[in-house]
Amino acid sequence: MTAQPFEVPIEQGVLVGHRGGDGPPALLLHGGAAVPDYLGDCAELLGDLFTTYRYTQRGTPPSGAGPPYSIEAHLDDALAVLDAFEIDRAWAIGHSWGGHLALQLLVAHPERLLGVICVGTLGADADVFPEYEQNLARRMTDDEIGFVRETQARRRAGEVSEADLVEVFRIVWPRFFRDAANATAPPEHVGAEASIGTNRSLAEHFARGTLRKRLPSAKAPVLFVHGEHDPMPIRTAWETAALIEGARVEPVAGAAHFPWVEQPRAFRRAVGSFLSEQPARTAGAGGL
């Protein structure tokens, strides 16, 4: 599959991404936050199921745009991509933080979505973070644990550098895979200001209970695909799915946080089976 590059102008900058595949439109939302898009392999794997639109989120090269780095701004950016391609409705497929963003898109703009697929997602509640951090720490040295915790504290205080965030990802990235030999390359850039702002906005929404309060009203089809060895505990998928009528969870054996990398056939089968069960929807299936 040949992916075609695109640029979508937004206020103060541009979103840089790629379009490819064939099928109903799907907006791919990467995790991080504030790292370059890494969902190319995922888009290619799903290229016969969806026409995919993936982009690097605001505040991280090659995309631009200044603050605010908030959930609301990220939602506006997602809609800007759909509008640029004249797509009325699309699937939202999000990984990790991007899965949380997809759910925020569902509750804020349900009229723009055909459905949601969350992969290794950060769910509706923040209480999962201590377990998640503990799972990551099991495979780190004491020095690595100390550096990661210190850097995260400085990020929360708004005093972190890009170099330190890049180093954090270098340390933790292999721990996102069941077998470190399967690990893809960690991000070479992190938008420090975007990371600070997005995580602060995320914390505010957790405190307000945005998803917990609003997901029970969601009516779209929702699938959670979650590696059984993911340091992000699978209970966050089950607990968030329980808030949404008809939502399904598909565990993937032999995979951690990147199931499309470690178990591509099982991941593709889970998504394809779910998609085949949905009624035919024509709204938004076009695009330029």
Quote the pLDDT of residue 181.
Answer: 93
Hey, what domains does the chain have and what are their CATH numbers? 4-276 (3.40.50.1820)
In the predicted model, residues of the chain with pLDDT beneath 70 are 1, 280-288
Structure-token pair, residue 274: 């779910």
Quote the pLDDT of residue 283.
Answer: 39
Contacts 24+ apart (CB under 8 A), 73-80: 74/101, 74/104, 74/198, 75/101, 75/104, 75/105, 75/108, 75/109, 76/10, 77/10, 77/15, 78/27, 78/29, 78/105, 79/109, 79/112, 80/8, 80/10, 80/15
Is 19:52 a contact under the CB 8 Å cutoff?
yes
Quote the pLDDT of residue 273.
Answer: 97
Quote the pLDDT of residue 2.
Answer: 81
Is 55:84 a contact under the CB 8 Å cutoff?
no
**Furthest-apart CA pair in the chain: how many Å?**
54
- Secondary structure class of 88 (helix, strand, coil): coil
Quote the pLDDT of residue 281.
Answer: 54
The pLDDT tens digits of the residues spanning 222-273 come to: 999 999 999 999 999 999 999 999 999 999 999 999 999 999 999 999 999 9
